[in-house]
Structure 1
Amino acid sequence: MRVTCWISIFMVALLAVGCGKQPRQPQSMLDTPAHHVDVGMASLDKGAPHQAQASFDVALELDPDYGPALAGKGVALAAIGNWRDGEDYVDDGLDEAADPSEELFAHVAALRAMTWATRNGQLAAETLLKRSDSVWKKGARLVEKNGGLDPAPLNFYRGEACLQALDMDCAENMFSRVLSANPSNQQYVERAEARWRAVQMIRRAALKTNVGIRIALTEQITRADMAALLVEELGVGRLYEKTEPVGSEFLDAGAAAASEGGTVLQDVANHPLRADIEAVTRYGVRGLQPFHGGQFKPDVALSKAEGAMILEDIIVRASGDDSLATRYIGRQSPFVDVRPDHAFFNAVMLVTTRGLLATNARQGRFDPLAPLSGAEAALAVSALKTELNTW
């Protein structure tokens, strides 16, 4: 009787396995788990975590136990905001790693996932520093034991974790490791060099608030970011409260009401930088006024030309010298990409002659339509702060 019972249980187990979802058969030469993981990682690097997750899911259809696909999906989930499930997938990816290379991949994925968790407010900065240090040490030991493994991704993403936790010394050390190791993937050299320069710029800017530091780390600053820099780092209110906004007569009804504090901008009601946005709106900072209909559009990115116009307005208002707004009109342009008839020509000339925004002197370019980075904006605000203190 007992034997019969065990046979029945065994048969049920076999049936359960047989009814489970079977791996999908590849349909082309590139329809492989490794290829789909590569596509997913590229999507992550482009800031498209949902698209990345879809690629990792396709890889898992082919091989449900493929470690890199599991770990990659964990990063995508963390980026989307699902840190709990993301952490589990990264752990599964490490458990299923088939060789040291896949194990290192999982450690790097862990660094990326926990950095996203902190960025999304799901993991404390102090915890990020401790946990990322532990993961980095495990990865470093793995690299030391297995020749041929590239430590660049491990060092780079440990640096990113340190930046997210605002530990500048740790970040600088990690990015320096990438630059000194001459990795096989030149992409990491370029990215580490850019981040290392950002750390140096932040140090020079001597930012006094964590908000300012975080904004300085962004690759492309938004209207909301600039508002926060002006209010929290520059203290722009003291420069504007006793002066009239330039061009205030051209504001539409919604924008004028917002600038007078008569209405709350609907698209910033739940924005974390709402107070800073409403402040610059009240002050009437040129370039950061509400759009028609009273929309601020906080997440719209700023170009260098737009940043120059904002800085120009501050200089004119703070100095009380209205002639600065037209000082360079009619002059020749030293830049091949900024014509004298461009609306932002005077602003570009004003900020570049004061060294507030950098130029490409070798090519004679200002790159007005290029994204304004957080580091560039922070340095400009810091330099402007020094200049304003002399007036």
Structure 2
Amino acid sequence: MFKLIKCLIILLSFLMYSGCSLFLADVKTPTKKRKIEPVQIAQTKQNKKIELKKEIKEDHSKAEPFVQRGDTLLFEGKINLAYRQYAKALTSDPDNIPAAIGLAKCYLKENKPEIAYSSLSRIESRTIRTPYAPEFCFLFIQASILQNNNLDNTDLKKIENAYYCALTTYRKKPELYYYMGLVCKKILQFNRAKTFFSKASSFKSQFSEDAYKQINQIKKLEQCSNCNYSQRLPLKSQISRADMAYILYHELHLNELLSKKRYNRQLQQVKDIDEHPLKDEIYAVLPVKLSGLSLFSGAYFQAEMPLTRGDFAQILYEIIQRVSPQIIVALNHKKKKPSIVDIRPSQLFYNSVIFCTQHQIVSSLKTSEFNPYGPISGADAMMGIRTLKKFFNQYDLTREYEK
């Protein structure tokens, strides 16, 4: 019995020792870290890329119906409705290129090339190596030339590259050659401009007649290469603020006309015309303080900013007011006001446009529209000044001019 008890004690001691050893082994033995193979890391990254592409695809699929509806509405001429659809598409997917291109088309249709150019510039880096590149480049050329800004070497390189990119898709589109012709004409590359306009006129489209006109105008410019400034001015398709200052000073003799009026003749400091060839004319008309030719904030004149038809009417109307305010009041009651559909009484130039068209100082368009934000050509501006002189003589407002 004693031996049996002794054996049990030994057995229990052995079991207890074994259990403690196992426990200590579990505590002390550190777990080996699982080694991740490079193949597994690459696979994980690939999976993440696939998931990201799926998310992008889902965003594109959400925006696609809006883009399609926008394209349909734009084709139907419903620009405002199309604009809303493209905006919704960009809300669903801010990186959607077709929606951004659609917005640029809307801006160009609404004659807002500056906004279209800005919109296209934001997506340039994301578009250039995509299937949308030719369409983007075509719109980029159009927006660039319609802005009426001076083109520097950087702009010309971009436009040149855009032309060859757009050519792959728009080879049979006369618009491409027409707008490139305008670019070359602006930078005085007349031979190349005539080549582009000839190409545009070879298509039977709305651009054919305009292209022929451009070719004839270039021929006149070439013949007049040695002419002085006043001889070249009527050939301009759109005059600038500096051109208007020249016309008022040399053609209307504004300073002599208003010589009896009291104006502050003190020379105003203007920051951006020191090197301008028409600096003297600009300084001469500034004291009159016409709203269409006044300084911008910071004492900038922006001499090459295009002048609109509304600006032109406003300037002539203000000159009549300065010469004889009473005549405007008297004549407003005598004639029936013309019906012009594209201006509103709330607009700044409303009275100016009504008065000038009423007395045929500035002609309205044939469709009862005035197009106040459209360009005023050099020829139209000169004709308006001559008509204004006749108006002064007709009502004997000044004896400065003889009939």
Q: TM-score, normalised by structure 2?
A: 0.47
Which protein has the larger Cα radius of gyration, Structure 1 or Structure 2?
2
